A and B are shown apart, each in its own frame.
Chain A
């Protein structure tokens, strides 16, 4: 079992729709969770971080965390073609300093 799992996609949604990206993690004690966006050939850029169970909203983005289910998701409302990228879920493992990244989900937003 991978430490951080994401559906590789591609996930294709029409412009204006809601894109839902999911991530599960194996380390039950993990406390810090991040979503990064990476355009092809570029470096990852932070979208959001979340530490507590529940929802956290920032503009068109909402991160959801359920520690009991070891599940974190990212919702993108009113998806735009410019949102087309790979989205990386990242988790800091228990008691350590290692940030584990998922392999990423490729999102395509069709105009």
Chain B
């Protein structure tokens, strides 16, 4: 029973390039969350998606960042024109139910460590 999968585990980009992070939720999970974690800091919510829908993107920067969760395939977090401040660990989590329903426990993937040179 595979858990949440993320790839790549490590990603190095130069300033101005695009970073594309992938997340495959646990089997049977249709709710995906993305978080960013800076060193020595807590997790910061970015976006919550269900299949083909963005439900809450209140934590996403208004520019350069986008997320999708297509009907088929993994969820993608895309960062365009990366800057050094984007360097962080990006975690994806999935749940079987929506938040507030009682079955919303989130299970985390191993994360993608993004380094922008």
Which B residues touch A88, using CB under 8 A? 42-43
Secondary structure at the B interface, as helix, strand, loop or mixed, is: loop
Q: Check B106 against A99 for contact (C-beta < 8 Å).
A: yes
Q: Check A44 against B91 for contact (C-beta < 8 Å).
A: yes
Which A residues touch B45, using CB under 8 A? 98-101
Given contacts A43-B108, A97-B48, A98-B59, contact A103 B100 (CB under 8 A): no
> Which of under 10, 10 to 19, 20 to 34, or 35 or more describes the interface residues of B?
20 to 34
- Segment with Cβ contacts to B, from A13-21, A45-53, A69-77: A45-53
Given contacts A45-B108, A49-B105, contact A104 B55 (CB under 8 A): no
Q: Check A31 against B100 for contact (C-beta < 8 Å).
A: yes
For the complex, is A92 an interface residue (Cβ under 8 Å from B)?
yes
> Which of under 10, 10 to 19, 20 to 34, or 35 or more describes the interface residues of A?
20 to 34
Distance in angstroms from A54 CB to nearest chain B CB is: 17
For the complex, is B74 an interface residue (Cβ under 8 Å from A)?
no
Q: Check A97 against B105 for contact (C-beta < 8 Å).
A: no
Which B residues touch A95, using CB under 8 A? 100
Distance in angstroms from B114 CB to nearest chain A CB is: 14
A10 to B41, CA, bound (A): 14
For the complex, is B65 an interface residue (Cβ under 8 Å from A)?
no
For the complex, is B1 an interface residue (Cβ under 8 Å from A)?
no
A36 to B33, CA, bound (A): 16
Within 8 A of A (CB), among B60-117: 91, 98-100, 102, 104-111
Q: Check A98 against B109 for contact (C-beta < 8 Å).
A: no
Contact of B91 (CB < 8 Å), options: A43, A46, A104? A43
For the complex, is B44 an interface residue (Cβ under 8 Å from A)?
yes
Q: Which residues of A contact B (CB under 8 A)?
A: 31-32, 34, 36, 42-46, 49, 51, 88, 90, 92, 95-104
Q: Which residues of B contact A (CB under 8 A)?
A: 33, 35, 41-45, 48, 55-56, 58-59, 91, 98-100, 102, 104-111
- The 17 listed contacts between A and B (C-beta, < 8 Å) are A32-B100, A32-B104, A42-B110, A43-B108, A43-B110, A43-B111, A44-B43, A44-B108, A98-B56, A98-B58, A98-B59, A100-B45, A101-B35, A101-B45, A102-B42, A103-B41, A104-B42
